[in-house]
């Protein structure tokens, strides 16, 4: 078996797991940003009057229609080239950009979830004279989330698989670690195979979990 | 606007109310008053505008023209300097606090238990203490015969039970005015009586002003002092239920009643 060396694989593993740690941090950080910012965007687009609404709409469309990797490199370069701006670690830039990028997708899930709340619920809210903020929190959002949570989960998994783009701004996440190992030892096969398996081991159970969540949310 | 004489202010007053949906005019300059404590049943063929009247009072629809006053106060629009001005939404919401509505399809909050459905508005609209709201809600659940269901979610209840919870939820706000919009139309026939009995009790024990849209003519006869027959967005005739049901003046009323009573 000349194409596979168990010793190289074993040597690569600790470094790869370290890189995976960075991948996880980026995914979790990005997801937290996207979940909250996505909700904020959905609420803003719903409540802002039409004459200012075009601005956030335009920003969302812009972010959604340009590649993540371009956004990453652009923002990273902006920060590193401009001495007037505070210097931010590449990982922080990466988390912010990937979080904002995915928030534009998640806001769409929230919007669909809120739209799925039946008209009768809004009428009952109105008939009880419930104030908007309270009724959104206690009635609309809990019902919207049932339709939204599975799709938010799917976006989190998609984001997880997009974290290798962070290597474009020199974040040593899992895939960049694999490449560095390959460059140093020529054990590309071992390093990339293990990297792929680590991704699979993390994302497959997560998507199963999301599917189960989806089922348990389907009924009250 | 203070009452001119004691008890002289109507609970509800429609003045030249117009409601259009697109090109379709549902109400064409409607005028009527309802006295405090009065029970009025609105009847008429579908599309005659009776549900729209309830929805306008509940502010679920916006007025195209005219004014609605509740206890002498403007509900959604007022006349200021000769102009018709819409009131801010906060003020409209304050005006509707004491107006309750029960819907054809119940519209309970499915993410909440029965008791949570009942205490939500008293706590967050009236500012009641939680313990007081719960105690009051339990009393109301007992009244509608559902004391054992307080921790169930609405989806676990029958339609008739859900509607009784919805009635209790409306009563939890201590309404002066209660709007009943075809509250038994979505129920299986064997569940209708329990719901109507609850409403009969409320009519007997309270002095809540009620506007009722229903096809249950016996119920209308039992609880209401006045029946208004609508057709084509105008009041065709009105009177005491005994007169309207047994001896209507208008041919169209007669036809409508014979179709409904079949």
Contact call for residues B164 and B198 (beta carbons, < 8 A): yes
Using CB atoms and an 8 Å cut-off, which of residues 96-125 of chain A contact chain B?
120-121, 123-124
Distance from CA of B17 to the nearest CA of A (A): 20
Which pLDDT score is estimated for B137? 97
Facing B60 at nearest CB: one of A123, A130, A142? A123
pLDDT at B2 over 80: no
Q: Right CATH number for B1-98+177-184+192-262 from 3.90.1570.10, 3.40.50.300, 3.30.540.10, 3.40.50.720? A: 3.40.50.300
Which pLDDT score is estimated for B7? 55
Is the sign of the CA dihedral B49, B51, B52, B54 positive or negative? positive
The DSSP letter of residue A118 is -
Using CB atoms and an 8 Å cut-off, which of residues 184-223 of chain B contact chain A?
none
When pLDDT is averaged across residues B197-216 and rounded to a whole number, the result is 94
Q: Give the burial class of B220: count Cβ atoms within 10 A of its Cβ; 0-12 exposed, 13-18 middle, 19 or more buried.
A: buried
For residues A168 and A145, what is the distance between their CA atoms, to the nearest angstrom? Answer: 34
**pLDDT interval class at B207 (50, 70, 90):** very high
The domains of chain B are located at 1-98+177-184+192-262, 102-174
Which pLDDT score is estimated for B74? 95
For residues A172 and A18, what is the distance between their CA atoms, to the nearest angstrom? Answer: 9
Which among A159, A150, A194, A145 is positioned nearest to A174, based on CA atoms? A194
DSSP code per residue over A7-40? HHHHHHHHHHHHHHHHHHHHHHHHHHHHHHHHHH
Cα diameter, chain A: 75
For residues B145 and B139, what is the distance between their CA atoms, to the nearest angstrom? Answer: 10
pLDDT at B219 over 70: yes
**pLDDT interval class at B3 (50, 70, 90):** very low
For residues B13 and A193, what is the distance between their CA atoms, to the nearest angstrom? Answer: 77
Which pLDDT score is estimated for A201? 95
A129 conformational bin, left if phi > 0, alpha if psi -120 to 50, beta if neither: left
For residues B15 and B30, what is the distance between their CA atoms, to the nearest angstrom? Answer: 6
**pLDDT interval class at B258 (50, 70, 90):** confident
The domains of chain A are located at 6-218
Run of H or E residues at A168: none
- Whole-model pTM: value is 0.88
Q: Which residue has the tokens 């830039």?
A: A93
Which pLDDT score is estimated for A13? 93
When pLDDT is averaged across residues B75-81 and rounded to a whole number, the result is 92
The answer to whether residue A145 neighbours chain B at the CB level (below 8 Å) is no
For residues B62 and B11, what is the distance between their CA atoms, to the nearest angstrom? Answer: 20
Contact call for residues B79 and B65 (beta carbons, < 8 A): no
- Cβ atoms within 10 Å, residue A89: 10
- CATH architecture designation of domain A6-218: Orthogonal Bundle (1.10)
Structure tokens, A105: 């997708």
Instruction: Output the tens digit of pLDDT for each of chain A's 220 residues.
Output: 578 889 988 999 999 999 999 999 999 999 999 999 999 999 999 999 989 999 999 999 999 999 999 999 999 999 888 777 778 899 999 999 999 999 999 999 999 999 999 999 999 999 999 999 999 999 999 999 988 999 999 999 999 999 999 999 999 999 999 999 999 999 999 999 999 999 999 999 999 999 888 888 877 7
* Residue A118, CA distances (Å) to A51, A143, B184 in order: 27, 10, 20
**Residues B164-193: pLDDT tens digits?**
999 999 999 999 999 999 999 999 998 999
Contact call for residues A147 and A189 (beta carbons, < 8 A): no
Structure tokens, B250: 């208008």
Structure tokens, B53: 């009247």
The dihedral over CA atoms of A18, A22, A25, A29, expressed in degrees to the nearest 10, equals: 180
| Region of poorest pLDDT, from A26-35, A80-89, B108-117, B123-132 | A80-89
**Residues B233-254: pLDDT tens digits?**
889 999 999 999 988 999 999 9
Complex ipTM, two decimals? 0.91
Q: Give the burial class of B143: count Cβ atoms within 10 A of its Cβ; 0-12 exposed, 13-18 middle, 19 or more buried.
A: middle
Which pLDDT score is estimated for A1? 56
The answer to whether residue B152 neighbours chain A at the CB level (below 8 Å) is no
Interface A:B, Cβ pairs < 8 A:
65
The DSSP letter of residue A131 is -
For residues A95 and A28, what is the distance between their CA atoms, to the nearest angstrom? Answer: 9
B27 bridge partner residues: B19
Which among A130, A143, A64, A141 is positioned nearest to A102, based on CA atoms? A64
Determine the number of helices (DSSP H) and then strands (DSSP E) in chain A: 9, 0
The answer to whether residue A139 neighbours chain B at the CB level (below 8 Å) is yes
B85 bridge partner residues: B78
The answer to whether residue A220 neighbours chain B at the CB level (below 8 Å) is yes
Facing B153 at nearest CB: one of A127, A130, A220? A220
Structure tokens, A217: 């949310």
pLDDT at B4 over 50: no
Mean pLDDT over each residue of chain B, to the nearest integer: 92
Sheet arrangement for strand B99-102 = B99-102, B177-181, B209-213, B39-43, B226-231, B234-239
């Amino acid at each position: 078996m000349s194409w596979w060396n168990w010793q190289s694989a074993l040597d690569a593993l600790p470094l790869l797991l370290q890189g995976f740690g960075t991948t996880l941090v980026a995914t979790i950080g990005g997801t937290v940003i996207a979940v909250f910012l996505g909700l904020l965007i959905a609420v803003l687009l719903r409540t802002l009057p039409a004459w200012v609404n075009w601005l956030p709409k335009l920003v969302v469309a812009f972010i959604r229609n340009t590649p993540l990797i371009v956004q990453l490199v652009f923002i990273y370069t902006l920060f590193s080239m401009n001495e007037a701006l505070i210097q931010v670690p590449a990982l922080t830039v990466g988390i912010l950009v990937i979080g904002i990028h995915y928030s534009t997708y998640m806001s769409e899930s929230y919007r669909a979830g809120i739209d799925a709340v039946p008209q009768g619920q809004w009428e009952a809210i109105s008939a009880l004279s419930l104030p908007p903020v309270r009724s959104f929190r206690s009635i609309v959002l809990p019902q919207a989330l049932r339709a939204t949570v599975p799709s938010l989960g799917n976006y989190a998994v998609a984001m997880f698989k997009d974290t290798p783009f962070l290597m474009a701004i020199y974040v040593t996440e899992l895939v960049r670690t694999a490449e560095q190992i390959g460059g140093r030892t020529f054990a590309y096969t071992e390093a990339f195979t293990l990297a792929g398996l680590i991704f699979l081991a993390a994302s497959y159970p997560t998507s199963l979990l999301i599917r189960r969540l989806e089922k348990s949310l389907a009924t009250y | 606007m203070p009452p001119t004489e004691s008890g002289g202010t109507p609970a509800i007053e429609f003045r030249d109310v117009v409601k259009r949906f697109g090109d379709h005019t549902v109400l064409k300059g409607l005028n009527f008053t309802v006295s405090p404590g009065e029970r009025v049943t609105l009847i008429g063929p579908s599309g005659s505008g009776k549900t729209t009247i309830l929805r306008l009072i509940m502010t679920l629809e916006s007025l195209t023209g005219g004014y609605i006053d509740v206890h002498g106060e403007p509900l959604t629009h007022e006349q200021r300097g000769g102009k018709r001005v819409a009131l801010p939404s906060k003020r409209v919401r304050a005006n509707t606090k004491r107006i309750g509505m029960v819907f054809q399809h119940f519209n309970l909050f499915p993410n909440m238990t029965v008791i949570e459905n009942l205490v939500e508005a008293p706590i967050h609209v009236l500012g009641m203490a939680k313990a007081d709201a719960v105690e009051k809600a339990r009393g109301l659940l007992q009244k509608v015969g559902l004391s054992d269901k307080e921790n169930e979610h609405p989806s676990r209840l029958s339609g008739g039970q859900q509607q009784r919870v919805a009635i209790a939820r409306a009563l939890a706000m201590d309404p002066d005015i209660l709007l009943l919009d075809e509250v038994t139309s979505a129920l299986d026939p064997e569940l209708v009586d329990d719901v109507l009995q609850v409403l009969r009790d409320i009519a007997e024990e309270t002095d809540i002003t009620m506007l009722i849209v229903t096809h249950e003519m016996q119920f209308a006869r039992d609880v209401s002092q006045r029946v208004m027959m609508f057709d084509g967005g105008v009041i065709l005739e009105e009177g005491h239920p005994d007169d309207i049901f047994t001896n209507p003046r208008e041919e169209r009323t007669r036809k409508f009643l014979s179709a409904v009573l079949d």
